[in-house]
Amino acid sequence: MIRRLLRRKHLDPLPAGDLPPLARDRLAKIWRGGANDGWDPVQVIDKIVAEHGPLSAEAPEALGILLSLALWESAAAWEISARLAVDLPAIEARLAVTAQAHDEARHVMLLKETLERLGQPVSTPPPAALRVIQQVHRTRDPSRALTGLHLMLEPTALTFYRLMQSKAVSPGLVALFRTLEDTEVRHISVGLGILPDRVRGLSRVRKADLAAWQLRLFLTEMRGLKQLEPHVRALGFQPMEVLRLGHSKQLFVVDLLTRDLGDPVVASRLFNRAVELRRALDWEADGDAARTLTNALKRALAPEEPAHTGPLPW
């Protein structure tokens, strides 16, 4: 990061950028919230254990695998946020992603400490889930980084933390997941404060490229969920429940951005068709490749349900 700063011809200590006043105020508020929400991971766990008892789960190995995935995602988000603090033009945007980088650092250490107390190792995610993390982490395009981080990784983590609060885990883990959930909501707000105006300035070709990249990521994420199926079921919930919640959150954010921009970032209909095709191919295979493909195409081309118009699904 320092080398990239030094390569610039001029260092602007207070970059103005081109964000509208409302977005600037929102991002500055997020930064102040993050600055006021600093906590020590070990102290948080110690306090939770003192109030609720030891951390435990009915399926500790399965939980360990999903917590390891969350740790990998948080580690990637930490580095991505730190890079965006250099790459984004507006100081309020830099402040917001800097606060997020601090949050993600705490998440990494909190998840590491949690795994240790559960007696579980930090494992490598399954191939498809790891590929999603790597693709978002490796991109040097700020628009892709913002989209992948705030519309993919963060909603996925938020879905997991929220679901786990209703499953077979100890009260201490419920309190821990609630702590993580609160910051994930703030992180998604960072993306919603930056992305609309950034994407508005992209050409139609760049918008189409960004939409296609996001769709590929989500389809890969669906394959990752299939690979995690045994562990998800061991924790007491159905993979389709996870997919439905994650999909609805993603579509809501995409629709919100579309309304703000006045020019679609993602073709929602194409997105839904592709997701349905991938779901049918992965989850409804019956051993007959031709019949599976035919049924998948029928489901993908069936009439769509009305778009989500309800309250914010967080």
How high is the pLDDT of residue 266? Answer: 45
How high is the pLDDT of residue 285? Answer: 59
How high is the pLDDT of residue 118? Answer: 95
User: pLDDT band at 199, cuts 50/70/90?
Assistant: confident
Instruction: Quickly list H helices, 228-284.
Output: 229-234, 239-261, 268-283
User: pLDDT band at 311, cuts 50/70/90?
Assistant: very low
How high is the pLDDT of residue 309? Answer: 42
pTM score of the predicted model: 0.82
* 20-266: CATH superfamily: Ribonucleotide Reductase, subunit A (1.10.620.20)
- Among the listed residues 267, 268, 297, 305, the one whose alpha carbon sits nearest the alpha carbon of residue 280: 297
Decide if 240 contacts 172 (C-beta within 8 A).
Answer: no
How high is the pLDDT of residue 215? Answer: 80
* Amino acid at position 264, single letter: P
Looking at residue 265, the DSSP 8-state letter turns out to be: S
Dihedrals φ, ψ of 79, to 5°? -70, -40
